[in-house]
Amino acid sequence: MASLISCPHCGTRPKEEFAIRGDATPLRPSSMASDEAWHDYVHLRTNPRGRVREHWQHVAGCRRWLVVERDNLSHAVFSVTDAATEVDR
Amino acid sequence: MTAYRLPAGGLIDRSHTLAFSFDGKSLSGHAGDTLASALLANDRLLVGRSFKYHRPRGIVTAGPSEPNALVTVGSGVRRDPNTKATVAELYDGLVATSQNRWPSLAFDIGAVNGLMARFLSAGFYYKTFMWPAAFWEKVYEPLIRRAAGLGRTDLSPDPDSYEKSWAHCDLLVVGSGPAGLAAALVAARSGLRVILAEQDFALGGTLLSETTRLDGEAPYIFARRVLDELQNSPNVTLLPRTTVFGWYDDNVFGALERVQKHGAAVDAVKPVERLWRIVAKHAILASGAEERPLVFGGNDRPGVMTASAAATYANRFGVAAGKAVAIFTNGASGYRTARDLAAQGIGIAALIDSRPDAAEAAPAGVRLIRGGSIIDTRGGAGLRGIVADRGGFEDLIACDAVAMSGGWSPVIHLACQRGGRPVWSDALQAFLAPDVGAGLVPAGAAAGQYRLSACFEDGARKAADIVEALGRQAAGFQAPVVGEEPDPSFTALWHVPGAKSKAFVDFQNDVHLGDLGLAVREGFGHVEHAKRYTTGGMATDQGKLGNINAIGILAAMRGVSPAEVGTTTFRPFYTPVSFGALAGTSVGGHAMPVRRSPLHGWAARNGATFIEAGLWYRSSWFAKGEEKTWRESVDREVRSVRENAGLCDVSTLGKIEVFGPDAAEFLNRLYCNPLLKLPVGKARYGLMLREDGMVFDDGTVSRLGEAHFLITTTTAMAGGVLSHMEFAAQVLWPQLRVRFLSVSDQWAQMSIAGPKARVILQSIVEDDISHAAFPFLAAREVRLKGNLKGRLFRISFSGELAYELAVPAGYGEAVADALMRAGLPHGMCAYGVEALNVLRIEKGHVTHAELDGRVTPDDAGLGHMMGTGKADFIGKRLSNRFGLTAADRAQLVGLKALEADQEMRAGAHLLKDGAKPSTINDQGWVSSACFSPTLRMPIALAFLKSGRERYGEKIVVWDRLRGVETMAEVCHPVFVDPDNSKLTA
Ligand SMILES: [Zn+2]
pLDDT for position B713: 98
Backbone angles phi, psi at B797, to 5 degrees: -100, -25
B909 and B809 housed in the same domain: no
pLDDT of res. B948: 97
What pLDDT is recorded for position B487?
83
Mean pLDDT of all residues in B669-675: 98
Give the length of chain A: 89
Q: Do B206 and B252 belong to one domain?
A: yes
Task: Report how far ligand 1's centroid is from the alpha carbon of A10 (Å).
Answer: 4
Tell whether the model's pLDDT for residue B571 goes beyond 60: yes
What length does chain B have? 985
Average pLDDT score over chain B: 94
Q: Which of residues 47-86 of A touch B (CB under 8 A)?
A: 55, 57, 59, 63-65, 75, 77, 82-84, 86
pLDDT recorded at residue B106: 66
- Looking at per-residue pLDDT, the higher value among B143 and A32 belongs to A32
Q: What type of residue is B559?
A: G
Q: Among the three residues B717, B742, B767, which one is the final residue of a domain in this structure?
A: B742
B731–A84 CB contact, under 8 Å: yes
Contacts of A86 in chain B (CB under 8 A): 731
Residue B105 confidence class, pLDDT cut points 50, 70, 90: low
Query: For residue B508, what pLDDT band results from cuts at 50, 70 and 90?
Result: confident
Look up the domain containing B916 and give its range. 886-971
Torsion of CA B87, B89, B90, B92, to 10 degrees: -150
Is there a domain that residue A32 lies in?
A: no
Please name the residue of chain A whose CA is at the shortest distance from the CA of residue B168: A12
A88 within a domain of the structure (yes/no): yes
Residue pair B408/B432 in contact (Cβ under 8 Å)? The answer is: no
Quick check: B117 pLDDT over 80? no
User: For B635-651, what is the mean pLDDT?
Assistant: 98
B696 and B789 fall within a common domain: no
B766 shares a domain with B647:
yes
Residues of chain B contacting A19 with CB distance shorter than 8 Å:
723
Interface check for A89 against chain B (CB to CB < 8 A): the answer is: no
Residue B461: CATH number of its domain: 3.50.50.60
B759 shares a domain with B730: no
Structure confidence at residue A89 (pLDDT): 44
Q: Is position B754 within any domain?
A: yes
Please tell me whether residues B264 and B231 are part of one structural domain: yes
The residue from B724, B742, B760 where one domain ends is B742
CA distance B871 to chain A (A): 7
Contact indicator for A29, A37 with CB cutoff of 8 Å: yes
Over residues B57-86, mean pLDDT: 93
Residues B119-157 pLDDT 10s: 556 665 555 555 555 665 666 566 555 555 577 888 899
Tell me whether residue A38 is in a domain.
no
The pLDDT of B639-644, averaged and rounded, is 98
Handedness of CA B559, B564, B570, B575 (dihedral sign): positive
Strands B423-425 and B430-432: antiparallel
Name the closest residue on chain A to residue B868, using Cα atoms. Answer: A31
B901 and B754 both lie in a single domain: no
Give how far Cα A51 sits from Cα of A14, B565, B628, B902, B922, Å.
Answer: 21, 32, 62, 59, 45
- Provide the CATH number for the domain around residue A2: 3.30.2270.10
Please measure the distance between the N-terminal and C-terminal CA atoms of chain A and give it in whole angstroms: 26
Q: pLDDT over 90 for what percent of chain B? A: 86
SS3 B447: helix
B749, pLDDT greater than 80: yes
Q: What is the pLDDT of residue B113?
A: 59
List chain A residues with CB under 8 Å of B734: 84, 87-88
Mean pLDDT for B557-565 is 94
Residue B111 exposure: Cα atoms within 13 Å on the Cβ side: 16
Residue B133 domain-assigned?
Answer: no
Residues B645 and B726 in one domain: no
Are residue B658 and residue B726 in the same domain, yes or no? yes
Average pLDDT over residues B81-109: 84
CA of A80 to the centre of ligand 1 (A): 10
Given a contact cutoff of 8 angstroms between Cβ atoms, the answer to whether B552 and B244 are in contact is no
Q: What angle do CA B283, B288, B294 make, to 5 degrees?
A: 145
Residue B899, domain member (yes or no) = yes
Chain B residues within 8 angstroms (CB to CB) of chain A? 166, 248-250, 252, 277, 279, 691-692, 723, 726-727, 730-732, 734, 871-872, 876-878, 881
Give per-residue pLDDT as tens, B675-688: 999 999 999 999 99
> Domain for residue A13, yes or no?
yes
Query: In angstroms, rounded to a whole number, what is the distance separating the alpha carbons of residues B401 and B385?
Result: 8
User: Does some domain include residue A39?
Assistant: no
- Chain B's closest residue to A41, CA to CA, is B691
CA B804–ligand 1 middle distance (angstroms)? 35
Residue B933 lies in a domain: yes
Which residue among A41, A43, A84 places its CB closest to the CB of B730? A84
Residues of A in contact with B876 (CB under 8 A): 31
The pLDDT score that the predictor gives to residue B765 is 98
User: Is position B602 within any domain?
Assistant: yes
In a domain, A69, yes or no: yes
Which residue of chain A comes nearest to B722, CA vs CA? A63
Residues B704 and B822 in one domain: no
Is there a domain that residue A30 lies in?
A: no
A11: distance to nearest CA of chain B, Å? Answer: 14
Residues of A in contact with B872 (CB under 8 A): 30-31
Q: Residue B962 maps to which CATH number?
A: 2.40.30.110
Residue B984, pLDDT above cutoff 90: no
Q: Which residue from A minimizes the CA distance to B874? A: A31
ipTM: 0.97
CATH of the domain at B764: 3.30.1360.120
Residue that is last in its domain, among B773, B805, B839? B839
pLDDT over 70 (residue B728):
yes
In a domain, B3, yes or no: no
Which residues of chain B neighbour A1 with C-beta distances below 8 Å?
249
Nearest residue in chain B measured CA to CA from A59 = B723
Does residue A88 have a pLDDT over 60? no
pLDDT at A86 > cutoff 80: no
Contact B876 A38 (CB under 8 A): no
Q: Are B269 and B210 members of one domain? A: yes
Left if phi > 0, otherwise alpha if psi is -120 to 50, otherwise beta: which for B175?
left
Q: How far is the CA of B401 from the centre of ligand 1 (A)?
A: 62
B78 part of a folded domain: no
Distance from the A49 Cα atom to the nearest Cα atom in chain B, whole angstroms: 16
Q: What is the pLDDT of residues A38-75, one digit of tens each?
A: 999 999 999 999 999 999 999 999 999 999 999 999 99
**Could you give the number of structural domains in chain B?**
4
Question: How many contacts (CB atoms, under 8 Å) link A and B?
Answer: 62
On the question of pLDDT at A9 being above 80, the answer is: yes
Total number of domains constituting chain A: 1
Kindly tell me the sign of the dihedral angle through the C-alpha atoms of B420, B426, B431, B433: negative
Q: Which residues of A touch B281 (CB under 8 A)?
A: none
The rounded Å distance from CA B227 to ligand 1 centre is 40
Question: First and final CA of chain B: distance in angstroms?
Answer: 98
Question: CA-based diameter of chain B, in Å?
Answer: 116
Mean pLDDT of B344-357: 96
pLDDT at residue B251, rounded to an integer: 97
pLDDT of residue B121: 61
Do B736 and B755 belong together in one domain?
no
Predicted pLDDT at B589: 85
With respect to residue B783, please indicate whether it lies within any of the assigned structural domains: yes
User: Quick one: closest CA in A to B247, which residue?
Assistant: A3
Answer yes or no: is pLDDT of B55 > 80: yes
Domain containing A57 equals 1-24+51-89
Q: What is the pLDDT of residue A46?
A: 92
CA of B730 to the centre of ligand 1 (A): 13
Asked which of A17-26, A78-87, B11-20 is least confident by mean pLDDT, the reply is A78-87
